[in-house]
Structure 1
C-alpha cells in the first residue's frame, strides 16, 4: 500500500492517504461530510465542537488501519496484509450515510422511513461514483459497504469487529475527538494501549488482561461523555429544536422523500436550514419550524423545566420509551394541564446503553455485551468473563436515559407546574408502565 499524500489532523497530527482514498475524498459524496457537524448543536454549549463527520471519518480510517496493522504483525497465518486497504476504506465510509446534523436526522429517518444512516451508506457506496472508484481499484462496493457497518459475511468476524464492536475504531476516535473539540477531558483514553493489547481468540477480537484498566477507562469515559456532553440539557435543547423542525415540515419539503443517491447527497446542515427558512407555506407547522430553526441559529433555545434521570437494565424499556406515540401522549397530557397547545411542550427521552452493546440484544438481557478477556493461569492463556474480571464495569450495566420537559421561555412556569402534577413524586418508570 503506497501513500500519496497526507492530511493534517489535530488529534493524530498527520493522516497519510493512498490513491484510492484520495479519489474517494475528492468526491461530492464524501466532501458533503464537511457540511455535517459531528455533534449537531453541541457547539452552542461547547463552542469548539464544530468538527465534522468528514474529519471523524478520516480518523476512523486511520484508527482501523492501526488496529489491522497491529494484528498483521502478530498473526501471520490469519491476517492477510493485503486487506489493510479494504479495512481502511470500510472505516472511512462507515458514516458516509449520515444525514443533516448527524444523529439528529437519524431520529427523523427512523420515525418517517424506518431506516438508519447505515442503510443509506450502502445506497451511497453502491449507487454513486464511489462504486466506480472502488471497482476500478479492484474492490467490490457491496463488500466495502457491508464491512463499513460490520456486517460482511464474506469476511472473518474479527475484521468486522475492527469497524463495529465494543472497542472499535469508531469509538476509539470519537471519544478522543469529541473530547478534544468540546474541551472536556472526560473522553481522554489510552487508545494506544488498547490497540496494542488487541489479540485474536477464536476468530474474534479480544483484549489482553494486562490492559484491562485501559478498557475500563474507555467504558467509563464513554459513560461520562454521555452524561456531560451528549445528554447535556442545552445540547439536547438544540437537538430537539432541529429534529422537531425537520419532522414538522417533512411532508411539506420532503426531507425524507429522497428517491436517488443524488437527492440524499444534497442534504446537509446548511441546505436543510435554508430549505426550512425559505418555505412559502404559512401553515402552523411551517411557522413553528421556522421559529425553532431561527432559535437554533441565534441560540435562543428551548428551556428545560423538568428532569428525571433514568437508569434501567432492560432493552425492552429502551425500545418502549423511544416510541413517538408515547412521547406525544405525554406531551399532550402536560400541555392540557398547562392550558397550552401540545406543540408548545417538548418531551425529550434520550436513552443509550451505558456500555457499547454489539450488535444487538438478541442474546438476552445482556447478550450484546460479551467482551473476551484473555489472561494467564498456571502459565497458560485462558478466556475470562469480562464482568467477573471488572466489578467496576459490572456496575455500569444497563441503559442511561433521561426524561426532560422543554418549552419556550415564556411558558416555563406553566409547564413546570404541569409537569410536577403529571409526574409527581413517582419514578418515571412507573409513569411509562401505565
Structure 2
C-alpha cells in the first residue's frame, strides 16, 4: 500500500509503505527544518524550501529511474530519500565549517545517522540492507550511479526545485527525457545519443545557477557572517561540533542571537538583513595561488589575516571568503554516440566551452561593515598583493 503526496515540482508522488516509515523518523523529519539553499531567501524571498522536499523529489526520481532501468531494489529508493540525511544546519552553508573543523562531510555523517537512529531498525524491519543503502548514497556500485554520479537524481531534482522556488528560469531541464535516455552499458550508467541535448541542458542550467543563485554575493555574505559566528561559538564552547551538526537552522540562530559580542552581532545583523558589503571581489588570476590555497584550507591563517586587515584598516572586523573551487563532474558523463562510449565533453562543444568558462565564476571576496569599504580595499590590496579589484 502506498500514499500519494502532492509536490509542487513533480506533481503527485507515490510513496511506498517502507518509505513512509522512514519519513516518520525524527532524523528525516528534521530535514523539514533545514533550508535547501541556506540564506538564499534573503535574495529570493521564495527560496524557503527544505531538504525534506528535495529528499522526496530525489526519491521520486529514483523511482522513475528504477522503472526506466528495470531496477527492483528497495535500497535504491531508500537511498534517494536518505541521501542528504547527514546535512548540518543551513545545508551546504555549514559544510565548509564541518569539513574544515572536523574533517567530516555530510556523506560521512550519514553513516553515523543511519546506524545511531531509528533508520536502521526501519530498514531492517522491511528487509532492506542498511549497508547497501549507505554504499548507494556514496555512489558505490552499479546502482549507486543513480544516486550519486555525474548525472544523478540529486542533481536533477535540486536544479528544477531551486529554479522553481527562486523564480529563476535557468534551472528548467528535461529530466524526464534524460531519465528515459539513460541505460546501463557494461555496468556504467550511460546517456544514449537521444539524451545528449537534455544532458547539455542540465550542464548549462547548473553553470548559470551557480553565480545567479548558489554563489550570489548577498546570500554568500549572510552565509559567511553566520558561519563566522559559528566558528567563534565553537571556539568558546558555546556550540560543540556533534551538537551543531545535528541542529536545524532556527535552533542555531536563536541560540547565537543571544550570545554577547561577535556571534550575536553577526546573527542579529543577518536576521535584520543588515549585511556586510563587498570591499574586494577578484577572480583567481588576481590573487597569488598559494595564498588562495592557504586561505581556503587553513582556518587559523584566514582568521589571522582577517585580524591583520581589520587592524590595519582601523575597522572592527572583516570576513574573508575564499570559497571552495566547484568542478563540473558532469563533464565525465559517458555518452553512447555512433556505437562508441565517449565522455560528454568529447562529443559536446557546448560542454567544452562551459568547462573553460567555469573558472571565471570563482570569486575571492572580503566583506566589511557598511562605510568601511574604501579603507579595507586599500589595505587588502597591499597585504594580499591584489590586482584588478572590481569593487
* Superposition TM-score, scaled by structure 2 size: 0.91
Q: Secondary structure at the match of 1:335?
A: helix
Q: Equivalent residue for 1:267?
A: 247
Distance of aligned partners of 1:318 and 1:34 in 2 relative to their CA distance in 1, 3 Å threshold: farther
Structure 2 CA distance for partners of 1:421 and 1:316, relative to 1, 3 Å: closer
Query: CA 1:178–1:228 in 2, change beyond 3 Å: closer, same or farther?
Result: same
Query: For residue 206 of structure 1, what is the aligned residue in structure 2?
Result: 190
Question: Which residue matches 2:325?
Answer: 352
Quote the Cα distance in structure 1 between the aligned partners of 2:169 and 2:222.
22
Are 1:22 and 2:20 an aligned pair? yes
1:287 to 241, 256, 261: 261
Deviation of 1:321 (Å):
5.0
Looking at structure 2, the residues matched to 215 and 47 of structure 1 have their Cα atoms a distance apart, in angstroms, of 29
1:221 aligns with 2:210: no
Structure 1 position 82 matched with structure 2 position 55: no
Q: 2:175 aligns with which of 183, 191, 199?
A: 191
Query: Whose helix proportion is higher, 1 or 2?
Result: 2
Is the aligned partner of 1:373 residue 2:332? no
Residues 1:101 and 2:90 are matched in the alignment: yes
- Match for residue 390 of structure 1 among 343, 348, 354: 348
Shift of 1:94: 0.5
- Where does residue 366 of structure 1 map in the other structure? none
Alpha-carbon distance change, 395 to 337 in structure 1, aligned in 2, over 3 angstroms: farther
Deviations 1:310-340 (A, max 9, x none): 389xx99986552134533543443243133
User: Which ranges of structure 2 fall in alignment gaps of 5 or more residues?
Assistant: none
Deviation at 1:277, TM superposition (A): 2.6
Q: Deviations over 1:17-52 (max 9, x none)?
A: 111111111111111001100011000000000000
SS at match of 1:82: coil
Residue 70 (structure 1) aligned to one of 48, 64, 68: 68
Secondary structure of the residue aligned to 1:8 is strand
Contact 1:122 1:146 in 2 (8 A): no
Q: Using a 3 Å threshold, how does the CA distance of structure 1 residues 47 and 265 change in structure 2: closer, same or farther?
A: same
- What is the rounded CA distance, in whole Å, between the counterparts of 1:325 and 1:123 in structure 2? 28
Computed over aligned residues only, the root mean square deviation of the Cα atoms, in angstroms, reads 2.4
Asked whether the 8 Å contact 1:24–1:133 carries over to 2, the reply is yes
Answer yes or no: is the 8 Å Cα contact 2:86–2:108 preserved in 1: yes
Indicate the residue corresponding to 1:406 in structure 2.
367
2:87–2:245 Cα contact (<8 Å) kept: no
The 3 A distance-change label for structure 1 pair 425 and 33 is closer
**Per-residue deviation at 1:115?**
0.4
Does the CA-based 8 Å contact 1:206-1:371 persist in structure 2?
yes
1:77 aligns with: none
Structure 1 265/136 Cα, relative in aligned 2: closer, same or farther at 3 Å? farther
Q: 2:275 aligns with which of 284, 291, 301?
A: 301
Residue 113 in 1 paired to residue 102 in 2? yes
Structure 2: how far apart are the matches of 1:251 and 1:325? 12
Give runs of aligned pairs for residues 414-429 of structure 1, distance below 5 A.
414-423=375-384, 426=387
TM-score (norm 1): 0.82
Aligned runs of 1:50-61 on 2, under 5 Å?
Answer: 50-61=48-59
CA shift at 1:98, angstroms? Answer: 0.6
Deviation at 1:295, TM superposition (A): 0.9
Segments of 5+ residues of structure 1 without an aligned counterpart are 73-80, 152-156, 280-285, 358-368, 429-434
- Say if 2:46 and 2:166, in contact at 8 Å, map to a contact too: yes
Contact 2:182/2:195 (<8 A) preserved = no
1:154 maps to which residue? none
Q: Distance in 2 between matches of 1:295 and 1:226?
A: 25
